[in-house]
Structure formats: C-alpha cells, structure tokens
Chain A
C-alpha cells in the first residue's frame, strides 16, 4: 500500500507527533482572525434585536450618528450592495440565507438590526447603545415540545420491510421518546472578521472552517468576481461546526469596509455566540423497537422532529446511523422539520449522529433491560454484517471488537444488572455502554509541494487547521516521503490564494489531504530526479530516472545508501532552480468505482461509569473507556486528543449543556459562560482511548478515516445508561439534572 512507498513512514506515520503549530499557539504568536490589525482600521459593533418576533416600527440612529467617532451606521433602510444566495441551488453554502438587514422583520431574538462603525471600539459600542428602536412585537414561538402544533409533512427514508406490521406482532416492544436540547457551540475563539479592501478586491481575515466555500459565498453576496475575494484563516480557535459556513458578521464587516474604504473589524462576543452564529438544534425522537424474546431485533422505527429557524432548512439528520448500525429486517426513519423563532442552526460536532444515537442507543439499553439481557450481548447479537440500509458491504467494520475490547478493559463481566447493586467507597456505581458511528469519505483536495534550494520542503493547500492537527498531518506526509525533519518543513494553509482544499468538516480533512499531499511531493521528487539526470554538473547526469531515489533528503542510486547521494538542495542549486514543485490531487470516493461498492463508516463504543451519592443527589462520571475503529490513525497524539475532547463534550451534553429560551421574548436567557455550563476539568472522569487501528484502504491509500466527530457519538447514552444503572432514573430528555436524580429510589450507598 501507499504507505510502503513512503521511505520514512515508520518514523512519523502512526506515531505520536507533536503539533508543529503548538509553539506558535502557546507563545501567543499565532494570529487569529481578529488579531489582525491594519493602518486606519476601524471597529464595528452590531446591534441586536431585543424581541424574538415582529417588526421594527422605527429605528432612530440620529444620536448614534452624532456620537463621537462614529463613521457609519448601517441598517435595513440604507444597506445596499448585498445579494442573496440560494442555498442548495447556487454554489457555496451559507448559514443564514436571509441577507442581514434585508427588511424590517425580526425572526429571532438577537438578530442583527444595525451596525455602528467608529474609530475606536469604545466609540462604536457607545454608538450602538445610542440607537433607539421601537418594535411591533409578537410572541415568538420557542416552544420546546416540537410536536406541539406541528402540521407539516414527515419525510420518510430508509424504509425496508414492514416496520409497523412487525411492531404490531413483536413479542417485546420499546416505544419511548427522547429529546436533546438546543446546544450552543462555545469554541474559545469567538467569531469575527477583519475586512480589507483594495480597489475591487476584498481580503477577509476570518475564523472559517472552509476558506474556499467562504470565498465562493462572499463573492456572490458582495457581487464581485470570486477571484477578487481572498479569505485568510491561518489559525482557528476551534469551530465544532459553527464556523463551517459564513455568518452575517462577515457580510457586514465587508460591506462596511467597502463603503468606508477602510479596514473594518467586527467581533462577535460571547453573548452573541448564543444567537446569530448557529447551534445544535433541539430534537425530539420517538424510537420504537420490536424484538424476539431472545433479543433479535425485528423492527426499528425512528420518527423524529428537528428544529430549525424560520427561514433556513437545516436538518439534524438523527436517523443517519439507524439503517446500518444493527441488523433488522423492518425499518423506517421519518423526519419532521419544525420552525421556531431561533437563529439558524448549524452542524455541531457529530451532527445527526450525536443526538440520533442518544435516542437509538438509549432505546437499546431499555430494550436490554426489558429483555433481562446484558446490553453488551444485545448489541453483539444484532451486530450488522452488511449495511442493510444501502445493501453494501462495509469497507471495514470492527464494532464488535470495539465492544469486546471495551468490556475487557472495563471488567464488564463483573457488572451486576440490578439497579443500585454495585457499590464502591461509599458510593453507588453504574455502568453503561453505547455504540458510535460516523460516515467516512474521501473528498476532493489539491495541494502543491515544493523542494527549495535552501533545503526546505513546503506544502500548500487552501484547507485549514481548526485545531485538530492538520498542519502536522501535512508535515508528517512530507517527512514520511522525503526524510526531511519537521523543522525544515513549512506548511501553508488557511488562505484561498493556495491550491483549493477541502472544508474542515465531516471528519474528512485528513483522509482528503493525505493523497493530495503525497502525490504533490511525489511529483516534485520525480521532477527533481529527472532534472538530476539532465542538469550539467549533476553526478547523476545521464542516469536513468528509475535508477534513482530520494531518501533522507538525498537523491541517490537505488541500492546505494542515501549517504552516497546528494542533498536535494545541492542538486537544486547545481541546476540553478528556484525550486521544484509538484501538484497533487485527491479524487473523491464517490467518483471511485471501487469505493462506491462499499459502505464507508467508522465505528466505536464508549463504556461509562458514574458514581452516585444519593445523600446529596450527586452524580459524577468517573471513568470512560472509548474504543474506536477509525481506520489507520496517522497521528496517535492528535487522534487521541480528538476522542478525548469529544468525550469531554459528550459529558457536557449528558449532564450540563442546554440553551434555555425565555418563553416570552425568545431570548437565550443563559447566554454566558457563567450560566451556560460546559464541562470543567473538575468534572472530568478518567478517560482512556483505544484505537483498533485497522487500515481501511477503500477510503484512501493510507487506510485513514476521520476521527473528529465520532468520539462524541455514544457518550451521552453510555452515561445515561450508567445513570439508570446506578439510580434507576431513566433520563430521556437531556441533560441529566439534579431534578431528575432526586426521583431516585436508591437512597443509600
């Protein structure tokens, strides 16, 4: 396989490689979007609506316009030169399709209604505070019961067999509804844009998970040719999906900068993070399972509601894993899209799978209890050998081994099923498990590699590193192929002036960039070798190119040690070259006839332990074992980091996170870092990650699939199953709250 053609693969592929951008970040030298500053830069502050539905009756900007330092006030009455983009029809993906300030209507609390630009940030803030708005307010619809008043259509998918008939005759049935709340992305780095125009060319400094898409969208929104837009996102303080597609602040900064002909900076603050920059939508999922008394699934129905905004059709695909996780002859998934007065949702780590598997895996746990069967045994009994949804073989599926490995690590054999029956150190303990899955694919990518006369290797690609380690992956490939050490490798990402690369989403970046990076450096090396056989003064002049190789940074005759050869930079200088470049490309898996024959997915399992102190109604997650089958892991350090971070987020999903809207105004009422609870270090259990590390060569020549999102799937149901085991309280509406736990009948440890 390809990895064998990389002479230095053993040194850097599949090992722990520290991030090459680590020192830049830890020393504060890495510049994030709003760290950019330019002569003449001015500051913009957005004004948000304080109603959740209605219209602006009047907007008085006179005081703001007269305020010291204020240069420009934009609103629906005076904004020009912003164009609409029709998602799914035109190229590019935008988060909120309604252009900012499109009209006087308010669709959600916190919608931008005006923008104030001033010489200083403080002046812009004061100007924003001086704007007087009157509204015709209506009561917003932020009802949390998504079924209430639903009159729309359900969309059916994955129908096979006759699930209703099978349910009607099933000896054992589970029929329960599960809900997951609206959750807000809270990356450390908040959204922001610095927009700089030169003539009819715009440069946007962004924190974008997809610079290429961002450029495509902004060119259409601003009405300028795509080649006139440059988007730069060199460092991103994480995104979790919230930064995949452009938000209105980018448009507003660009328009204001164009109008003033000065660089404009617009930052979204933590409060604003809860309104106009996406969230994981609320879901409400009814699961019906039918089974034989010995635990063979006969039917699965997964009927869910997913919430979206008034104007955007964002679907949280909760049923994506349902058709293939288990073997089951009768199955249907139906989707209902419910509109509420909230901002546009966005993908959040493991969209669809994370809430969907919370429901499905919780129901499986409930079924196991009803059957009086070990939940592990139930999983294994119904393990699918083939993707019964698409009727294709899996490219590589080792879910059963994930379960068995996890059971071994946890000591699952010692589990006693009875609620509250396991105790340790004066606490009740509970054990739960759940499975996880996530799609794999190879998405297109291009890259350029360069060997330079000063002995460095450069690789360029307009993808971006959102904190996951993409810089390092590129460098690993360069070192694996050339033997040049990390400190002589330069990786350039996050800039649309580089060769087009993929959006960092769907856990597909690594599998996309590996082939492109490899073919780029291979081409550069082939060219160098050819030149070595042609250039006068080259010791290899006249040799056959096939007789030469490049290892340890030196060109040499095959069969001879690298030391016998010549350093590549010496050859480049000898031939008087400015450098030697090569272009590489990744072809998408959907154009690959072989890959199309397979179902491409990663799998995994979490085993969670909770400790329950009934006396004070306190639950703590004490251990999580995560066993994952994600193909070959290219960087074991960054890879484990992804699963660990996802497990931490999963703990937050299970126990803490929920954005609460005031029913009267539609305002997210806990929209701050003090009130919206995320996991703290003190909440962390012992985390233990295992990768099975089976390469999947159908996905790419390295056998690598993605790992960014799957780690979050399955955490919450593993925890709530453990909570049930310890307390007897089944939490079907996340998060688990003290209110729920106080219902426990297990009062003594």
Chain B
C-alpha cells in the first residue's frame, strides 16, 4: 500500500473540490481491499461519510430516492423497499455478509469492481505480471486462457471477460433506476442501463462517471402497479459468495398473460445485464413454463463461454426460469 492524503468532506462542495485529486471513500469495502492489493493507489482519499446523503425518501411521483451513502443493510431492511421493491431487498441481502453490508453503501456498490483473480493480483498488468487490460490497457487478458470459471459469458470482448459482481445493481437494472451525479460541471442524471459500460476495447472504462463526479443518489421509479418482483441467486455455497448466475425480474401478469416484464442477470455479464431479449420473449405471452424457458434461451442466445465457465449458460437459464416461476407463483 502506498501512502496517501486523507481529506474529510464536510459538505458536497468540499467533496467535489477535492474529488479531482483523489478517490471518494464510502464504506471502503472495495477500495481499501484493492489498495491493499496495490490495484488502486490513489494519492488522496476523500472521505464522503459525513455527507448528508444517507436518507431514503419517498418522491412526490411515488418513486423512492436513495442517498448514495445509504448502507446496504439499511436499504435492504427499509420497509418501503421491502414492500414495493422486494427484488432490491432480496438482492442486497443475498450479497456479501452482514458485516460488509453494514459498511457498504449504495454509491460504492454501483462502483464496485470485478473479482477477476488476475485483475486483483498485485502485479497484474506490470512487466512479469499477468496481463490485464483493465488494469493496464494493452497488456492482454490473463483470464482469457487462465482459470475463468467465475467469468462472464455475456457482453465480453477479446479484451476482457470480467464479471460485474454486484447483486444490488442487477435489481436496480430491472427496476430501471436513475443515477444522480454531481460534478465540477454540475448535476446530471444517468439512466441505469447507460451507467455501466461494456468492456469493448476499453475495459478500463467501467462506467459513465466523469473524473471527479460524485454519485449523490439513486431514484427508483414508482412501483409498477400489480407487478411482483423476485431475485434468485445461484452460487457454489449457501452464503457469503458471489453469484455464478442471478436473475432479477419484475413481472405483471393479467389474465394469465404477461403484460410487463423486466429481466436482469448477474454473475454472467460484464455489466449488470438487462435482457431485453428475455423481456421481449415474455411480453404478451402466457405465463407458463414454455414461455419462461423460451425467454431464458433468448437471454443467453449470445453467450460466449470460455474454457471453465460453459456451465453458466445453462445455469443462468435455470435461474431465469426459477425467478419467473416465483414471480408468477
């Protein structure tokens, strides 16, 4: 770990003023970990814990505003979230451990980085170390022909196949959340789908934030009337483990037919994976096993597995079917 400056941001202006020169630190559960591994070595840490961004408020339009500093546990156990956005609560509670969730924040979770073992190797991207285009562009990708059982099958490129590890983000993708940011150039909003970037040939660029921009809150739209939402996460062990495949669905069924469908996948994509293909295959169709399987096939049609992760294709399909079944049970 390198030495660094530490600045406590007393207010948003102060945070923004110092943001350019360093990194924001919220719960620290991703950042400190990566600093210890020498993956991140910011010259300054701007502590945003004092910022007044820790509230969950109802919006006049019926939606919900979640402050960037709201802890994952507080969000998961919030009554409005549990009642109207069950998929989000379930996703949060399936992630990490209680201790981590007590520290992890909404903003930090949006920004968490891949668990690719090669990316996390202290020397990755340096001469003699594993190639990692995400760490140092142009150095190659050690995971491509390495141990890639945990890696993505959707949205990959020849430059990077790293999975986006978040559970929360998968639920937010299905809920069509909107991210509010504030930066040196002012405030703006980013649609959830636009926030995380595909690796393409620039895997080092992971999201739409400009340098120095701060996530202030996330808005959830008004709950879809009559819809049910579910999160299903499949993994190697029962707890404290990232997804091999997960599925977030928001579904409204009327007269046996699906009238509204949002489907997002985790554990299989290089970003929280909204599946329009699955949604298309569901909308207007009878809510039955055949439709569910067809939707699952559609979601994974473009999957590109590597040596060790081929099983994720079938697993993700089963995960989707299970979540759809639960949402219509």
Which chain A residues have a beta carbon within 8 Å of chain B's beta carbons?
50, 122, 125, 129, 135, 615-618, 620, 655-656, 660, 662-665, 667, 669-670, 674-675, 677, 679-683, 737-739, 742
Contacts and interface: CB of A to CB of B under 8 A. Distances in A.
A738 B238 contact: no
Interface in B274-329: 311, 314-315, 318-319, 321-322, 325
Tell which of A655, A656, A667 has the most Cβ of chain B within 10 Å.
A667
A615 B239 contact: no
Given A616-B318, A617-B318, A129 B38 contact: yes
Contacts of B311: 737-739, 742
Contacts of B232: 616
Contacts of B117: 669-670, 675
A667 B142 CA distance: 13
B60 interface: no
Contacts of B318: 615-617
Nearest to A618: B234
A187 B123 CA distance: 27
Contacts of B234: 616-618, 738
Interface in B145-180: 146-147
Nearest to B311: A739
B236 A662 contact: no
A683 B240 CA distance: 10
Interface of B: 1, 38, 115, 117-118, 121, 123, 128-130, 142, 146-147, 232, 234, 236-241, 244, 311, 314-315, 318-319, 321-322, 325
8 contacts: A125-B1, A615-B325, A620-B238, A669-B146, A675-B115, A677-B241, A738-B236, A742-B311
B94 to A, nearest CB: 11
A235 to B, nearest CB: 24
Contacts of B1: 122, 125
A122 to B, nearest CB: 8
Contacts of B240: 680, 682
Q: Most A CB atoms within 10 A — which of B115, B142, B318?
A: B318
B239 A683 contact: yes
A617 B238 CA distance: 13
Contacts of B130: 665
A679 B118 CA distance: 24
B21 to A, nearest CB: 22
Nearest to A675: B117
Given A675-B117, A739-B311, A664 B237 contact: no
Contacts of B147: 660, 662, 669-670
Given A50-B123, A617-B315, A677 B236 contact: yes
Contacts of B121: 667
A655 B235 CA distance: 12
A681 B123 contact: no
Contacts, number: 72
A682 B238 contact: yes
A681 to B, nearest CB: 7
Nearest to A661: B147
Given A125-B1, A618-B234, A738 B244 contact: yes
Contacts of B115: 674-675
A506 B319 CA distance: 45
Contacts of A738: 234, 236, 244, 311, 315
Contacts of B129: 50
A135 B314 contact: no
Contact of A616 (B142, B236, B322): B322
Contacts of A739: 311
A390 to B, nearest CB: 41
B319 A616 contact: yes
B239 A681 contact: yes
A50 B239 contact: no
Contacts of A50: 123, 128-129
Q: Which of B129, B311, B325 has the largest count of A CB atoms less than 10 A from its CB?
A: B311
Given A617-B234, A663-B146, 15 more contacts: A50-B128, A615-B322, A615-B325, A616-B322, A617-B318, A656-B237, A660-B147, A669-B118, A680-B237, A680-B238, A680-B239, A680-B240, A680-B241, A683-B238, A738-B244
A656 B236 contact: yes
Contacts of B128: 50, 135
Contacts of B315: 617, 738, 742
Contacts of A677: 236-237, 241
Contacts of B238: 620, 680, 682-683
A124 B325 CA distance: 56
Closest 10 CB pairs of A and B: A682-B239, A682-B238, A739-B311, A683-B238, A680-B239, A669-B147, A669-B117, A616-B322, A616-B318, A683-B237
A664 B146 CA distance: 8
Given A50-B123, A669-B147, A615 B237 contact: no
A720 to B, nearest CB: 16
A379 B152 CA distance: 45
A119 B38 CA distance: 22
Contacts of A669: 117-118, 146-147
B307 to A, nearest CB: 10
B321 A615 contact: yes
Contacts of A664: 142, 146
Contacts of A670: 117, 147
A523 B130 CA distance: 65
A344 to B, nearest CB: 23
Nearest to A133: B128
B1, B146, B325 — most chain A CB neighbours (10 Å): B146
A670 B241 CA distance: 13
B37 to A, nearest CB: 9
Given A50-B123, A50-B128, A742-B315, A679 B237 contact: yes
B288 to A, nearest CB: 15
A293 B219 CA distance: 70
Contacts of A674: 115
B122 to A, nearest CB: 8
B314 A655 contact: no
A663 B161 CA distance: 19
A110 to B, nearest CB: 12
Contacts of B319: 616
Contacts of A655: 236-237
A449 to B, nearest CB: 45
A135 B240 CA distance: 38
Nearest to B236: A677
Contacts of B236: 655-656, 677, 737-738
A683 B232 CA distance: 17
A154 to B, nearest CB: 31
Nearest to A660: B147
A163 B232 CA distance: 52
A656 B241 CA distance: 12
A593 B239 CA distance: 53
A617 to B, nearest CB: 6
Contacts of B325: 615
A605 B181 CA distance: 61
A706 B268 CA distance: 47
